[in-house]
């Protein structure tokens, strides 16, 4: 029986090299700052992204939350996209735990926020309003089909933020995918931002963890926020060791995932009943929708596919997300298209 899991790149298991590194990692108590492997990962991440300091955190969600807490006080306002992961899928943590007021701006289909919309959303200094403190962007943009936001766009938002004295945070959960998609370095993409969170446990295959990077003063505050959130871990070097392997050996290969996503998208689009509604993917995410000629809804289609050994994510009543990753090879792409064809057979109006 096939077992192809395209629900997310979060399902990636660690590679044999990661398991090996985890077993051998020198360890210490990271709450005392004494885990040499965590320290090495943090330094490596900061250097790769061109910032002066890094902080290992258990998840992307905690990375974004600790960053927002480090930038904002209670009652401050953050501007972010209406489709931002932090707004939609992080359990409202910034409001629940930080008292930070989220104000959404419409995401454009390419994942950006228009400069005019952002400018219009920045509050005047008036006692009626929460003070605008932070702009948060996402790259690649998950709900905008894995689009990559270009370097120039980041700098344009930076210029606006500087006009108003605002800070900028990047949810770069898949920053290395964005860099690969655009043919630029992660450092160039990170440059306009005061802080960046990126994930080791998505396409880079590490089992656990994300890193926040920024300047020393920011990381000092984020470190306290991490402790408040219960994210101070002890011999976390067993996890960080896999993260080092991820950064050293898994970045280059992301282009393979992107090529497979394009292949998958192109072949699914040729099937009757399937619409590739966001066009050919820029990174590792394929979003497709069932048109009105298909009798099944998303859930029923998903179940049929599971029966055929293929797992996909349902993101709306007739819309799916399929994410390519290290454990999805060329044969899996062929098998997935075949499974879609079989699932649709006899279900067309
Ligand atoms: N995204 C997950 C789900 O939560 C939707 C996925 O399968 O894609 N930022 C972005 C852009 C993300 O896509 C995710 C995870 C996170 C942050 C949170 O990372 P974790 O899961 O490590 O807390």
| pLDDT digit string, tens, across residues 36-48 | 999 999 999 999 9
Query: What is the layout of strands, in order, in the sheet containing 274-275?
Result: 274-275, 285-290, 319-323, 313-316
Q: Which atom of ligand 1 is nearest the CA belonging to 174? A: 11
The Cα–Cα gap between 69 and 254 comes to 31
d(CA 293, ligand 1 centre) in Å? 32
Eight-state DSSP code of residue 276? -
Q: Rounded mean pLDDT of 66-77?
A: 98
Residue ID of nearest Cα to ligand 1 atom 6: 8
User: For residue range 191-241, what is the model confidence (pLDDT) as tens digits?
Assistant: 999 999 999 999 999 999 999 999 999 999 999 999 999 999 999 999 999
Confidence of residue 1 (pLDDT cuts 50, 70, 90): confident
How many other C-beta atoms lie within 10 A of the C-beta of residue 116?
10
- Ligand 1 atom closest to Cα of residue 9: 7
Give the architecture-level CATH label for domain 13-249: 3-Layer(aba) Sandwich (3.40)
DSSP letter at 145? Answer: T
**What is the CB < 6 Å shell around ligand 1?**
8, 10, 59-61, 85, 89, 138, 142, 171, 173, 199, 201, 210
Q: Whose CA is nearest to atom 15 of ligand 1?
A: 60
Average pLDDT, integer, range 309-327: 97
Residue 148 β-bridge partners: none
Mean predicted confidence (pLDDT) in 303-331: 97
Domains of the chain, residue spans: 13-249, 253-344
Average pLDDT, the chain: 97
Residue 113 banded pLDDT, cuts 50, 70, 90: very high
In sequence order, the β-bridge partners of residue 158 are none
- Cβ atoms of 207 and 168 closer than 8 Å: no
Check if the beta carbon of residue 85 is closer than 8 Å to that of residue 230.
Answer: no
Residues 6+ apart with CB under 8 A from 19: 242
For residues 135 and 163, give the distance between their C-alpha atoms in angstroms, rounded to a whole number.
Answer: 13
Residue 47, pLDDT score: 98
The DSSP result for 279-291, as a single string, is -S-SSSEEEEEE-
CA distance 112 to 149: 7
Mark residue 266 as left, alpha or beta (left: phi above 0; alpha: psi -120 to 50; beta: remaining).
alpha
Domain 253-344: give its CATH code.
3.90.1150.10
Residues 6+ apart with CB under 8 A from 194: 71, 167, 168, 169, 214, 215, 218
Dist. CA 85 → ligand 1 center (Å)? 7
How many whole angstroms from 228 Cα to the centroid of ligand 1?
21
Q: How do the residues of the chain divide into helix, strand and coil, expressed in percent and rounded to 5?
A: 45, 20, 40
| Per-residue confidence band for 295, with pLDDT thresholds at 50, 70 and 90 | very high
**pLDDT reported for residue 271:** 97
pLDDT bucket at 277, cuts 50 / 70 / 90 = confident
Going by CA atoms, what residue is nearest to atom 5 of ligand 1? 89
Closest Cα to atom 17, ligand 1: which residue? 60
> Which ligand 1 atom sits nearest the alpha carbon of residue 10?
7
Protein residue whose Cα sits closest to atom 7 of ligand 1:
8
Q: Stretch 97-112: mean pLDDT, rounded?
A: 98
pLDDT above 70 as % of the chain: 100
């Amino acid at each position: 029986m096939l077992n192809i899991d395209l629900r997310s790149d979060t399902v990636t298991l660690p590679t044999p090299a990661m398991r090996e590194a985890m077993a051998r990692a020198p360890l210490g108590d990271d709450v005392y700052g004494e885990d040499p492997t965590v320290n090495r990962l943090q330094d490596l991440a900061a250097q790769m992204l061109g910032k002066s300091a890094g902080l290992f955190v258990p998840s992307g969600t905690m990375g974004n939350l600790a960053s927002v807490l480090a930038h904002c006080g209670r009652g401050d306002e953050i501007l972010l996209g209406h489709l931002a992961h932090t707004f939609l899928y992080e359990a409202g943590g910034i409001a629940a735990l930080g008292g930070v007021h989220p104000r959404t701006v419409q995401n454009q289909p390419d994942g950006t926020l228009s400069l005019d919309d952002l400018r219009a959303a920045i509050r005047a200094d008036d006692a009626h309003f929460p003070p605008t403190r932070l702009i948060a962007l996402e790259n690649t943009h998950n709900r905008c089909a894995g689009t990559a936001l270009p370097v120039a766009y980041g700098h344009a938002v930076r210029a606006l933020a500087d006009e108003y004295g605002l800070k900028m945070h990047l949810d770069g959960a898949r920053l290395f995918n964005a860099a690969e998609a655009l043919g630029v370095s992660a450092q160039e993409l990170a440059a306009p931002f005061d802080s960046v969170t990126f994930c080791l446990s998505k396409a880079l295959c590490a089992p656990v963890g994300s890193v926040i990077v920024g300047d020393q003063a920011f990381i000092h505050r984020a470190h306290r926020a991490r402790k408040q959130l219960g994210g101070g871990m002890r011999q976390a070097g067993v996890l960080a060791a896999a993260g080092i392997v991820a950064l050293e050996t898994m970045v280059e290969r992301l282009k393979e995932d992107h090529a497979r996503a394009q292949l998958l998208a192109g072949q699914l689009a040729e099937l009757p009943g399937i619409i590739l509604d966001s066009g050919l993917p820029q990174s590792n995410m394929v979003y497709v929708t069932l048109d009105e000629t298909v009798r099944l809804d998303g859930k029923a289609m998903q179940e049929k596919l599971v029966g055929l050994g293929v797992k996909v994510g349902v993101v709306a009543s007739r819309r799916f997300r399929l994410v390519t990753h290290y454990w999805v090879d060329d044969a899996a792409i062929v098998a997935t298209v075949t499974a879609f064809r079989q699932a649709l057979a006899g279900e067309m109006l």
